[in-house]
Structure 1
Amino acid sequence: MRIRLVQGAALLSTGALAGAFGYGAANLVPTFNAVPLDMRLSFHAQLMQMNGITMQGAMGISALSALVLAAVTRGASRWLAGGAGLLALASFLITRLGNVPINGRIKQWAATSAPADHAEILARWEAFNYARTGTAFAAFALLILLSLRRSHSAHDPNARP
Protein backbone atom coordinates (compact mmCIF):
# COMPACT_ATOMS: atom_id res chain seq x y z
CA MET A 1 0.00 0.00 0.00
CA ARG A 2 2.85 2.40 0.87
CA ILE A 3 4.49 1.83 -2.52
CA ARG A 4 1.21 2.56 -4.32
CA LEU A 5 0.80 5.86 -2.44
CA VAL A 6 4.35 6.94 -3.24
CA GLN A 7 3.89 5.84 -6.84
CA GLY A 8 0.64 7.81 -7.05
CA ALA A 9 2.32 10.92 -5.65
CA ALA A 10 5.19 10.54 -8.10
CA LEU A 11 2.84 10.10 -11.06
CA LEU A 12 0.64 13.01 -10.03
CA SER A 13 3.47 15.43 -9.40
CA THR A 14 5.50 14.57 -12.50
CA GLY A 15 2.34 14.63 -14.62
CA ALA A 16 1.46 18.08 -13.29
CA LEU A 17 5.03 19.25 -13.86
CA ALA A 18 5.17 17.92 -17.41
CA GLY A 19 1.75 19.39 -18.13
CA ALA A 20 2.67 22.82 -16.80
CA PHE A 21 5.97 22.92 -18.67
CA GLY A 22 4.31 21.51 -21.78
CA TYR A 23 1.63 24.20 -21.70
CA GLY A 24 4.32 26.85 -21.31
CA ALA A 25 6.39 25.50 -24.19
CA ALA A 26 3.41 25.03 -26.51
CA ASN A 27 1.44 28.17 -25.66
CA LEU A 28 3.28 30.74 -23.55
CA VAL A 29 6.57 30.84 -25.44
CA PRO A 30 4.91 31.36 -28.85
CA THR A 31 2.70 34.03 -27.28
CA PHE A 32 5.75 35.71 -25.73
CA ASN A 33 7.24 35.87 -29.22
CA ALA A 34 4.05 37.23 -30.82
CA VAL A 35 3.55 40.29 -28.61
CA PRO A 36 5.58 43.50 -28.37
CA LEU A 37 8.78 43.16 -26.32
CA ASP A 38 7.66 45.48 -23.49
CA MET A 39 4.47 43.44 -23.05
CA ARG A 40 6.43 40.18 -23.04
CA LEU A 41 8.88 41.45 -20.46
CA SER A 42 6.16 42.71 -18.11
CA PHE A 43 4.08 39.56 -18.42
CA HIS A 44 7.13 37.29 -18.20
CA ALA A 45 8.35 38.99 -15.02
CA GLN A 46 4.94 38.67 -13.34
CA LEU A 47 4.42 35.10 -14.47
CA MET A 48 7.81 33.98 -13.18
CA GLN A 49 7.11 35.62 -9.83
CA MET A 50 3.89 33.60 -9.55
CA ASN A 51 5.56 30.41 -10.81
CA GLY A 52 8.52 30.68 -8.45
CA ILE A 53 6.98 28.76 -5.58
CA THR A 54 4.54 26.50 -7.41
CA MET A 55 6.86 25.22 -10.13
CA GLN A 56 9.86 24.75 -7.88
CA GLY A 57 7.59 22.97 -5.40
CA ALA A 58 6.29 20.70 -8.16
CA MET A 59 9.85 19.92 -9.25
CA GLY A 60 10.88 19.18 -5.67
CA ILE A 61 7.89 16.92 -4.99
CA SER A 62 8.43 15.15 -8.33
CA ALA A 63 12.10 14.45 -7.63
CA LEU A 64 11.56 13.48 -3.99
CA SER A 65 8.59 11.18 -4.59
CA ALA A 66 10.30 9.41 -7.49
CA LEU A 67 13.52 8.95 -5.51
CA VAL A 68 11.56 7.62 -2.51
CA LEU A 69 9.82 5.23 -4.90
CA ALA A 70 13.24 4.09 -6.12
CA ALA A 71 14.30 3.48 -2.53
CA VAL A 72 11.28 1.29 -1.73
CA THR A 73 11.22 -0.78 -4.93
CA ARG A 74 13.70 -3.17 -6.49
CA GLY A 75 14.90 -4.35 -9.87
CA ALA A 76 13.77 -2.54 -13.01
CA SER A 77 11.20 -0.54 -11.02
CA ARG A 78 14.02 0.93 -8.95
CA TRP A 79 15.91 1.94 -12.09
CA LEU A 80 12.83 3.50 -13.70
CA ALA A 81 11.88 5.43 -10.56
CA GLY A 82 15.47 6.49 -9.95
CA GLY A 83 15.79 7.70 -13.54
CA ALA A 84 12.55 9.64 -13.17
CA GLY A 85 13.81 11.22 -9.95
CA LEU A 86 17.08 12.25 -11.58
CA LEU A 87 15.22 13.70 -14.57
CA ALA A 88 12.95 15.71 -12.26
CA LEU A 89 16.05 16.88 -10.42
CA ALA A 90 17.53 17.87 -13.80
CA SER A 91 14.41 19.98 -14.47
CA PHE A 92 15.00 21.72 -11.16
CA LEU A 93 18.69 22.32 -11.83
CA ILE A 94 18.06 23.59 -15.37
CA THR A 95 15.48 25.98 -13.95
CA ARG A 96 17.61 27.22 -11.04
CA LEU A 97 20.86 27.51 -12.97
CA GLY A 98 19.50 28.47 -16.41
CA ASN A 99 16.06 30.05 -16.36
CA VAL A 100 16.04 31.78 -12.96
CA PRO A 101 19.10 33.98 -13.56
CA ILE A 102 17.64 35.09 -16.90
CA ASN A 103 14.28 35.71 -15.22
CA GLY A 104 16.08 38.14 -12.89
CA ARG A 105 17.46 39.99 -15.89
CA ILE A 106 14.04 40.06 -17.55
CA LYS A 107 12.57 41.57 -14.39
CA GLN A 108 15.18 44.35 -14.57
CA TRP A 109 14.48 44.92 -18.26
CA ALA A 110 10.75 45.19 -17.58
CA ALA A 111 11.50 48.08 -15.20
CA THR A 112 14.07 49.74 -17.50
CA SER A 113 14.81 48.55 -21.03
CA ALA A 114 16.20 45.47 -22.73
CA PRO A 115 19.85 45.44 -23.83
CA ALA A 116 20.90 45.19 -27.47
CA ASP A 117 21.57 41.43 -27.13
CA HIS A 118 18.19 40.68 -25.53
CA ALA A 119 17.12 38.36 -28.39
CA GLU A 120 20.08 36.04 -27.73
CA ILE A 121 19.37 35.98 -24.01
CA LEU A 122 15.67 35.28 -24.55
CA ALA A 123 16.59 32.50 -27.00
CA ARG A 124 18.82 30.99 -24.29
CA TRP A 125 15.90 31.17 -21.83
CA GLU A 126 13.74 29.33 -24.38
CA ALA A 127 16.40 26.64 -24.87
CA PHE A 128 16.54 26.07 -21.11
CA ASN A 129 12.74 26.00 -21.04
CA TYR A 130 12.58 23.32 -23.74
CA ALA A 131 15.29 21.30 -21.97
CA ARG A 132 13.46 21.32 -18.63
CA THR A 133 10.21 20.49 -20.40
CA GLY A 134 11.89 17.49 -22.03
CA THR A 135 13.32 16.21 -18.76
CA ALA A 136 9.92 16.61 -17.04
CA PHE A 137 8.16 14.67 -19.82
CA ALA A 138 10.84 11.97 -19.74
CA ALA A 139 10.44 11.62 -15.95
CA PHE A 140 6.67 11.29 -16.34
CA ALA A 141 7.10 8.74 -19.15
CA LEU A 142 9.39 6.58 -17.00
CA LEU A 143 6.86 6.59 -14.17
CA ILE A 144 4.05 5.69 -16.56
CA LEU A 145 6.19 2.80 -17.82
CA LEU A 146 6.86 1.71 -14.24
CA SER A 147 3.14 1.90 -13.47
CA LEU A 148 2.23 -0.13 -16.54
CA ARG A 149 4.84 -2.75 -15.67
CA ARG A 150 3.58 -3.01 -12.08
CA SER A 151 -0.03 -3.17 -13.26
CA HIS A 152 0.85 -5.92 -15.74
CA SER A 153 2.79 -7.90 -13.14
CA ALA A 154 -0.08 -7.60 -10.65
CA HIS A 155 -2.33 -9.45 -13.12
CA ASP A 156 0.27 -12.00 -14.21
CA PRO A 157 1.38 -14.36 -11.43
CA ASN A 158 4.42 -15.41 -13.50
CA ALA A 159 5.67 -11.84 -14.08
CA ARG A 160 8.50 -10.29 -12.04
CA PRO A 161 7.87 -7.00 -10.17
Structure 2
Amino acid sequence: MQDILAVVTIVVTGVMVGVEFAVAVFVNPILDRLPDNGGLNARSDGARVLGRAMPVWYFSSLVLGAVWAGVSWGEDGAGYVVAGAALLVSSIVLSVLLLVPTNSRSAKWSAEGPPEDWREQLGRWDRYHYLRVAVIVLAFALFVVALV
Protein backbone atom coordinates (compact mmCIF):
# COMPACT_ATOMS: atom_id res chain seq x y z
CA MET A 1 0.00 0.00 0.00
CA GLN A 2 2.85 2.37 0.84
CA ASP A 3 4.37 1.80 -2.60
CA ILE A 4 1.08 2.75 -4.25
CA LEU A 5 0.94 5.93 -2.16
CA ALA A 6 4.52 6.73 -3.16
CA VAL A 7 3.81 6.21 -6.86
CA VAL A 8 0.62 8.30 -6.74
CA THR A 9 2.48 11.07 -4.90
CA ILE A 10 5.28 11.03 -7.47
CA VAL A 11 2.89 11.02 -10.43
CA VAL A 12 0.71 13.85 -9.09
CA THR A 13 3.73 15.93 -8.10
CA GLY A 14 5.57 15.10 -11.31
CA VAL A 15 2.73 16.19 -13.56
CA MET A 16 2.45 19.44 -11.56
CA VAL A 17 6.19 20.00 -11.98
CA GLY A 18 5.84 19.36 -15.71
CA VAL A 19 3.08 21.94 -16.09
CA GLU A 20 4.97 24.57 -14.10
CA PHE A 21 8.22 23.84 -15.95
CA ALA A 22 6.48 24.12 -19.32
CA VAL A 23 4.90 27.45 -18.33
CA ALA A 24 8.27 28.83 -17.20
CA VAL A 25 10.48 27.56 -19.99
CA PHE A 26 8.20 27.35 -23.02
CA VAL A 27 4.72 28.85 -22.77
CA ASN A 28 5.38 32.28 -21.26
CA PRO A 29 8.50 32.98 -23.38
CA ILE A 30 6.55 32.06 -26.52
CA LEU A 31 3.62 34.27 -25.49
CA ASP A 32 5.98 37.15 -24.70
CA ARG A 33 7.32 37.03 -28.28
CA LEU A 34 3.91 37.47 -29.90
CA PRO A 35 3.59 40.77 -31.77
CA ASP A 36 1.56 43.71 -30.48
CA ASN A 37 1.50 42.36 -26.92
CA GLY A 38 -0.61 39.45 -28.18
CA GLY A 39 0.62 37.25 -25.39
CA LEU A 40 -0.75 39.56 -22.71
CA ASN A 41 -4.34 38.34 -23.13
CA ALA A 42 -3.14 34.73 -23.21
CA ARG A 43 -1.12 35.20 -20.02
CA SER A 44 -4.11 36.89 -18.42
CA ASP A 45 -6.32 33.93 -19.37
CA GLY A 46 -3.66 31.53 -18.14
CA ALA A 47 -3.61 33.37 -14.82
CA ARG A 48 -7.35 32.80 -14.49
CA VAL A 49 -7.37 29.15 -15.56
CA LEU A 50 -4.21 27.99 -13.81
CA GLY A 51 -4.96 30.25 -10.85
CA ARG A 52 -7.94 28.00 -10.12
CA ALA A 53 -6.32 24.65 -10.89
CA MET A 54 -2.84 24.96 -9.44
CA PRO A 55 -3.74 25.57 -5.78
CA VAL A 56 -5.64 22.27 -5.73
CA TRP A 57 -2.68 20.54 -7.36
CA TYR A 58 -0.13 22.03 -4.95
CA PHE A 59 -2.18 21.10 -1.88
CA SER A 60 -2.91 17.61 -3.24
CA SER A 61 0.80 17.03 -3.77
CA LEU A 62 1.53 18.31 -0.28
CA VAL A 63 -1.16 16.17 1.37
CA LEU A 64 0.03 13.08 -0.48
CA GLY A 65 3.63 13.84 0.51
CA ALA A 66 2.66 14.42 4.13
CA VAL A 67 0.66 11.18 4.31
CA TRP A 68 3.56 9.31 2.70
CA ALA A 69 5.94 10.90 5.22
CA GLY A 70 3.71 9.83 8.09
CA VAL A 71 3.30 6.28 6.83
CA SER A 72 7.03 5.84 6.17
CA TRP A 73 8.25 7.57 9.34
CA GLY A 74 11.33 5.80 10.72
CA GLU A 75 11.99 3.82 7.55
CA ASP A 76 14.73 4.24 4.97
CA GLY A 77 14.00 7.18 2.72
CA ALA A 78 11.52 8.84 5.06
CA GLY A 79 13.84 11.83 5.47
CA TYR A 80 13.69 12.42 1.72
CA VAL A 81 9.90 12.38 1.80
CA VAL A 82 9.80 14.80 4.73
CA ALA A 83 12.27 17.11 2.97
CA GLY A 84 10.23 16.94 -0.24
CA ALA A 85 7.03 17.76 1.62
CA ALA A 86 8.79 20.64 3.39
CA LEU A 87 9.86 22.01 0.02
CA LEU A 88 6.26 21.83 -1.17
CA VAL A 89 5.24 23.84 1.90
CA SER A 90 7.87 26.44 1.01
CA SER A 91 6.63 26.54 -2.59
CA ILE A 92 3.10 27.24 -1.37
CA VAL A 93 4.32 30.00 0.93
CA LEU A 94 6.39 31.46 -1.92
CA SER A 95 3.35 31.29 -4.19
CA VAL A 96 0.97 32.95 -1.75
CA LEU A 97 3.37 35.72 -0.77
CA LEU A 98 5.06 36.54 -4.08
CA LEU A 99 3.22 35.06 -7.06
CA VAL A 100 -0.49 35.08 -6.26
CA PRO A 101 -0.78 38.88 -5.86
CA THR A 102 0.60 39.53 -9.36
CA ASN A 103 -1.32 36.58 -10.78
CA SER A 104 -4.57 37.93 -9.33
CA ARG A 105 -3.95 41.35 -10.85
CA SER A 106 -2.90 40.01 -14.24
CA ALA A 107 -6.01 37.82 -14.44
CA LYS A 108 -8.03 41.03 -14.78
CA TRP A 109 -5.82 42.80 -17.31
CA SER A 110 -7.49 41.54 -20.48
CA ALA A 111 -10.81 43.00 -19.34
CA GLU A 112 -9.58 46.17 -17.63
CA GLY A 113 -6.44 46.83 -19.62
CA PRO A 114 -2.93 46.44 -18.24
CA PRO A 115 -1.14 48.99 -16.05
CA GLU A 116 1.83 50.84 -17.51
CA ASP A 117 4.32 48.64 -15.64
CA TRP A 118 2.76 45.34 -16.70
CA ARG A 119 5.98 44.10 -18.32
CA GLU A 120 7.94 44.68 -15.13
CA GLN A 121 5.26 42.95 -13.06
CA LEU A 122 5.23 39.91 -15.34
CA GLY A 123 9.03 39.86 -15.42
CA ARG A 124 9.12 39.79 -11.62
CA TRP A 125 6.44 37.07 -11.61
CA ASP A 126 8.54 35.03 -14.06
CA ARG A 127 11.65 35.31 -11.86
CA TYR A 128 9.74 34.15 -8.78
CA HIS A 129 8.17 31.40 -10.85
CA TYR A 130 11.63 30.12 -11.89
CA LEU A 131 12.51 29.91 -8.20
CA ARG A 132 9.26 28.07 -7.44
CA VAL A 133 9.93 25.63 -10.28
CA ALA A 134 13.40 24.91 -8.89
CA VAL A 135 11.89 24.23 -5.46
CA ILE A 136 9.22 21.85 -6.72
CA VAL A 137 11.67 20.06 -9.05
CA LEU A 138 13.86 19.41 -6.02
CA ALA A 139 10.82 18.19 -4.02
CA PHE A 140 9.92 15.85 -6.88
CA ALA A 141 13.49 14.56 -7.08
CA LEU A 142 13.52 13.88 -3.33
CA PHE A 143 10.28 11.91 -3.64
CA VAL A 144 11.79 9.82 -6.44
CA VAL A 145 14.97 9.19 -4.43
CA ALA A 146 12.85 8.12 -1.46
CA LEU A 147 11.05 5.53 -3.55
CA VAL A 148 14.21 4.22 -5.18
Q: TM-score, normalised by structure 2?
A: 0.88
Output the CA distance in 2 between the equivalents of 1:50 and 1:109.
14
CA RMSD of aligned residues (A): 1.8
Contact 2:69 2:81 in 1 (8 A): yes
Output the CA distance in 1 between the equivalents of 2:46 and 2:36.
15
Output the CA distance in 2 between the equivalents of 1:21 and 1:95.
12
Matches within 5 A, 1:32-111: 32-36=31-35, 38-73=37-72, 74-111=74-111
Contact 2:48 2:107 in 1 (8 A): no
How big is each residue's C-alpha offset from its partner over 1:75-129, in whole Å with a ceiling of 9 and x where there is no partner? 4522110111111222222222222210222133322333332222111100121
Letter in 2 for 1:114: P
- Structure 1 unmatched ranges of 5 or more: 149-161
Contact 1:11 1:143 in 2 (8 A): yes
- Structure 2 unmatched ranges of 5 or more: none
Aligned length: 147
Matches within 5 A, 1:1-161: 1=1, 3-36=2-35, 38-73=37-72, 74-148=74-148
Output the CA distance in 2 between the equivalents of 1:28 and 1:67.
31
Output the CA distance in 2 between the equivalents of 1:37 and 1:89.
38
Output the CA distance in 1 between the equivalents of 2:50 and 2:98.
15
Describe the shift of the 1:85–1:44 C-alpha distance in structure 2 as closer, same or farther (beyond 3 A). Answer: same
Secondary structure, counterpart of 2:77 in structure 1: helix
Between Structure 1 and Structure 2, whose CA radius of gyration is higher? 1
Moved more, 48-57 or 12-21: 48-57
Larger relative CO (CA 8 A, sep 6+): 1 or 2?
2
Q: TM-score, normalised by structure 1?
A: 0.82
